[in-house]
Amino acid sequence: MSELTEYQGKATMEKITSLAKRRGFVFQSSEIYGGQNGAWDYGPLGIELKNRIAGAWWKEMTRLHYNIAGLDAAILMHPKVWEASGHVENFTDPLVDCKKCKSRFRADMIPEENLASKKCPDCGGELTDTRKFNLMFKSNIGPAEDTASIIYLRPETAQGIYVNYKNIIQSNRMKIPFGIAQIGKAFRNEIVTKNFIFRTCEFEQMEMQYFVKPGTDVEWFNEWRKQRWAYYEKLGVKMDHLRWHQHGADELAHYAKDAYDIQYLFPMGWRELEGVHNRTDYDLGRHSEFSGKDMQYIDQDDNNARYIPYIIETSAGLTRNVLMILCDAYDEEQVAEKGNDDDWRTVLRFHPNLAPVTAAVLPLMKKDGLAEMAQDIRRELQDDYAVDYDQSGAIGRRYRRQDEAGTPFCVTVDYQSKDDKTVTLRFRDSMEQVRVPIAELTARLRQEIKTYKRIK
């Protein structure tokens, strides 16, 4: 499928941000105090969506790969880790300030002519010289605030994996090639944090480090590029909204020999979603040097050859994936119900495996025993599915509310249900309705989820 040249969907960042707040996906952090820049809170639907995305990635990386083990390392690590990793020295952005309006810019994000003439792009005031700004959050641990007590919030989860790689070989008897997967928080003191949850100071990453024999790294790099692309296809993402971007020499991180980003076409344009990096033996080599511990692998399948493994990394932003899935699912559609041609609906076309709510159970009326029957159905379904229950308002409005939350199935209990023990199953995407025996509902939903194909 060929990629699009420009965004053609119905989403805008304003619409996504507003829907996210209105429906309880994402709220601004500390909003009552005016908000905290670069930090966001995930509401009831948001945490469900984030957990589903994390779950899909975790299943893909661990359950579907016998040779990839999971890990949850601490956020706080020995400060030497960040010296060894090169982050203390190299993890910087170029920064300029305006002396007049005090605005702060990333030097690589403002027009070249402003940088050359030292003119502020906002007010025309004089810009300072460019200086390096380290993105790591630095604090002190313990009661003394001196250099001996410095501690960093991790800017990537990867290092927690590297320092544990020998533990995992020993505890799980891993043999090269093998991987270690981790999902967790990372922190960067980003200078520019616009576009909602796209670039934030506190975010989550889903990273997998694959340890390979030197000389096989290029082959594994290509293999992981293939697998990561196929993953998004399986997730049901619009594939013409994805493309590869290879890092030029000026973009490569200090640890990388080669790097490709999977970019997604967001409403604001093509942006990085995930990176696949060939980190060589840089990280383990440096940890060997800085810790004095031997990080070599003894290859029993190759005459006990000793070497520092090369690492292929797949690094995706979990919170950035949440934004991608929201944009990808967003649609507005004119629906001509009851002859009303002006009736529009906003619908999130989540894959049922990712939808925060799988099914909503709706009694047509609260009275005449319909609510009780609907509650029984909710109880029956909730063991297998995330289920919502809503009995307030006109049924059309309740369907719209579920469409906007991305609920793929609505189960409506009406008077006929009392007679023949059937319900209406309504499909979010097509808005079609079919009659299903209550006894068959759980199995029918399972079948619908398994065979789900996005129609738009």
Footprint of ligand GAP (CB under 6 A): 156, 158, 188, 190, 199-200, 203, 205, 207, 272-275, 313, 315-317, 319-320
Q: How far apart are CA 292 and CA 246, in angstroms?
A: 35
Nearest distance, CB of residue 20 and ligand GAP, angstroms: 15
Cα–Cα distances in angstroms (integers) from residue 191 to residues 124, 151, 266, in the given order:
20, 21, 21
Nearest distance, CB of residue 255 and ligand GAP, angstroms: 8
Q: How far apart are CA 120 and CA 287, in angstroms?
A: 42
Q: Which residue is nearest to ligand GAP (CB)?
A: 317
Cβ contacts of 274 within 8 Å, gap of 6 or more: 228, 261, 262, 314, 315, 316, 317
Q: How far apart are CA 389 and CA 361, in angstroms?
A: 5
Instruction: Using the minimum distance from each CB to ligand GAP, give the nearer residue, 39 or 115.
Output: 39
Nearest distance, CB of residue 232 and ligand GAP, angstroms: 13
Nearest distance, CB of residue 345 and ligand GAP, angstroms: 30
Instruction: Using the minimum distance from each CB to ligand GAP, give the nearer residue, 108 or 337.
Output: 108
Cβ contacts of 421 within 8 Å, gap of 6 or more: 437, 438, 439
Instruction: Using the minimum distance from each CB to ligand GAP, give the nearer residue, 188 or 401.
Output: 188
Instruction: Using the minimum distance from each CB to ligand GAP, give the nearer residue, 253 or 431.
Output: 253
Q: How far apart are CA 272 and CA 279, in angstroms?
A: 18
User: What does residue 153 show for φ and ψ, rounded to 5 degrees?
Assistant: -80, 130
Nearest distance, CB of residue 321 and ligand GAP, angstroms: 7
Instruction: Using the minimum distance from each CB to ligand GAP, give the nearer residue, 102 or 194.
Output: 194
Nearest distance, CB of residue 248 and ligand GAP, angstroms: 14
Burial class (CB in 10 A: 0-12, 13-18, 19+), 442: middle
- Torsion 41-198-348-225 (CA) sign: negative
Q: Which amino acid would we find at residue 36?
A: Q
Q: How far apart are CA 405 and CA 389, in angstroms?
A: 13
Nearest distance, CB of residue 285 and ligand GAP, angstroms: 17
Instruction: Using the minimum distance from each CB to ligand GAP, give the nearer residue, 315 or 353.
Output: 315
Residue recorded with tokens 């199995």? 443
Instruction: Using the minimum distance from each CB to ligand GAP, give the nearer residue, 200 or 424.
Output: 200
